[in-house]
Amino acid sequence: MDVQVKKLAQSKVELSVSIPWEEWKGEIDHAVEHLSKSVKVEGFRTGKIPRNVLEKKLGKTTVLIEGAEHAIDHLFPKVLHEAGVDAIGRPEIRLEDAKEGEALEFVVTTAIMPEAAIGSWEKEVKAVNAKHAKEKPEVADADVDKELNRIAKSRAKLVTVNRAAQAGDAVEVDFDVTRGGVPIEGGAGRKHPIVLGSGSFIPGFEDQLIGMEAGSEKSFELTFPAEYHEKTLAGKPAEFGVKMLLVQEQDVPELSDEFAKSLGRFESLEELRKSVSEGMLAEKVERGKERHRTDILDAIVSVTEAELPDVLVEGELRRMVSEFSHQASMTGLSLQDYLSRIGKTEEDLATEWKPQAGRRLLSQLALEAIAKEREIEATTEEIEAEMNQVLAYAKSVKQAEKDLDLPAIYASIRERLRNEKVFVLLETL
């Protein structure tokens, strides 16, 4: 076959293809077999209609075009291979000529993976590294004390008291919210637990509960915050009716060796304190590493250019929405529930996130280009070791092949391991 490649704007190419008659004529038989299954001709069984009879019924052109389309479908991967083109998305195919005994000619327009043009990135990365080298993560004693107190409070016992509620108390209330005497949707709660001072309700609500005793009732008016997630209530006043059901104070255990031992794996408060301090330091180091890598990517992206096809950006946006949907589900919300709360649609998210999608794509292309430039690659052994971890959760290899997209997982692991090696290089420049 003959394939002529013409580069277009926005990372697209046009392929002008000519396939000799000898290479595509066999597809006519496939076309006849396919067409004869959907056509009824008296005296012939479905699927067994001869070509000459089918051509009289449908016309010779119809049979030839059907054969041409079969040929294009079957030979398209070979066309891309011949042209050395890494196509993405759905191609546009225009049939130019399909005649008996002649070459099949058609034109393909397709998006391709763009190549990143990276400017002088080493100087930029070295500047980022120099800035982060000055950072020395430390954990202050006051921060450790704060964390120890948080741990102690998380293990506090609740003791019911016969007194007015105070800040820090755990209470249970019945409440109703109305506007103009009409209950608002979702504006009622029964035996609702609240820790006064936690800020779990709109500003001012918990303050109104301080001073109430079990059995007392109270009505008051508050205004919803301007940025409240329910747009119909944002910035609007409402009436609140509350009945205090229960007041409990938190009996926080004293920080001591006994408390440390109660956690199960510490012999003393000092040992607990050391563990908490080391954990907080490790967390700070990890956050610093993430900031460092983000700054490196920002520096590289700032000197990277690439023509991003729309189909690539749209695919990245779909991945971002899917990731966000998964995160929302971890909080017990569906994506649609969350969007309803903030008054937005998936289209709104896509519009807002489009610049971020472009940045993510540029980051991927830049890392890939640097890996190619520095000949960095994950070894087969490294990739297979991680693949084996994935397969360990499957009942069998056959089950894994059925339930998992193994080539996609392999490619993802390969890219992640390669990028990790690239980052290690970049961080040490």
DSSP for 23-56 reads HHTHHHHHHHHHHHTS---TTS-TT---HHHHHH
Sequence-ordered list of residues with C-beta below 8 angstroms from that of 247, at least 6 positions apart, any chain: 160, 161, 162, 163, 164, 165, 169, 171, 212, 213, 214
Q: Is the pLDDT of residue 138 over 90?
A: yes
Q: What is the pLDDT of residues 67-114, one digit of tens each?
A: 888 888 888 888 888 888 888 888 899 988 788 889 999 999 999 888
Are 162 and 193 a contacting pair, CB within 8 Å?
no
Q: What is the pLDDT of residues 389-404, one digit of tens each?
A: 888 776 666 666 666 7
pLDDT confidence of 409, banded at 50, 70, 90? confident
Look over the chain and give the mean of its residue pLDDT values, rounded to a whole number: 90
- The pLDDT, as a whole number, for residue 129 is 95
**Both tokens of residue 327?**
């995160």
Q: Is the pLDDT of residue 283 over 80?
A: yes
Residue 304 to residues 222, 300, 313, Cα–Cα distance (Å): 51, 6, 16
CA 158/CA 170 separation, integer angstroms: 8
DSSP element (H, E) containing 396: none
Q: Where are the domains of the chain?
A: 2-113, 121-153+269-305, 157-251, 374-429
- The pLDDT, as a whole number, for residue 130 is 95
CA 428/CA 293 separation, integer angstroms: 12
DSSP 72-118: HHHHHHHHHHHHT--EEEEEEEEEEE--TTS-EEEEEEEEEPPPPEE
Are 207 and 320 a contacting pair, CB within 8 Å?
no
CA 10/CA 312 separation, integer angstroms: 11
Residues in the chain: 429
pLDDT confidence of 139, banded at 50, 70, 90? very high
- The pLDDT, as a whole number, for residue 379 is 94
pLDDT confidence of 197, banded at 50, 70, 90? very high
**CA angle (198 as vertex; 141, 260 as ends), nearest 5:** 40
DSSP element (H, E) containing 312: helix 310-330
Q: What is the pLDDT of residues 284-312, one digit of tens each?
A: 999 999 999 999 999 999 999 998 988 88
Q: What is the pLDDT of residues 215-240, one digit of tens each?
A: 999 999 999 999 887 888 889 999 99
Q: Does domain 2-113 have CATH number 3.30.70.1050?
A: yes
- The pLDDT, as a whole number, for residue 37 is 82
β-strand partners of 425 = none
Half-sphere CA count of 152, side-chain side, radius 13 A: 20
Beta strands across the sheet bearing 104-112 = 2-8, 12-19, 104-112, 87-97
- Rounded to the nearest 10 degrees, the angle between the axes of helix 335-342 and helix 310-330 is 90
- Rounded to the nearest 10 degrees, the angle between the axes of helix 51-58 and helix 60-83 is 110
Burial class (CB in 10 A: 0-12, 13-18, 19+), 424: exposed
| Fold for the domain defined by 157-251 | Chitinase A; domain 3 (3.10.50)
CA 181/CA 324 separation, integer angstroms: 38
* Mean pLDDT value of segment 132-146: 94
Residues 56-91: b if buried by 16+ CB within 10 A, e if exposed: ebbeeeebbebbbbbbbeebbeebbeebebebbeeb
221 φ/ψ sector (left φ>0, alpha ψ -120 to 50, else beta) = beta
- The pLDDT, as a whole number, for residue 253 is 95
* Mean pLDDT value of segment 42-56: 79
Are 226 and 235 a contacting pair, CB within 8 Å?
yes
CA 212/CA 162 separation, integer angstroms: 11
Burial class (CB in 10 A: 0-12, 13-18, 19+), 389: exposed
Are 144 and 51 a contacting pair, CB within 8 Å?
no
Longest CA–CA separation in the chain, Å: 99
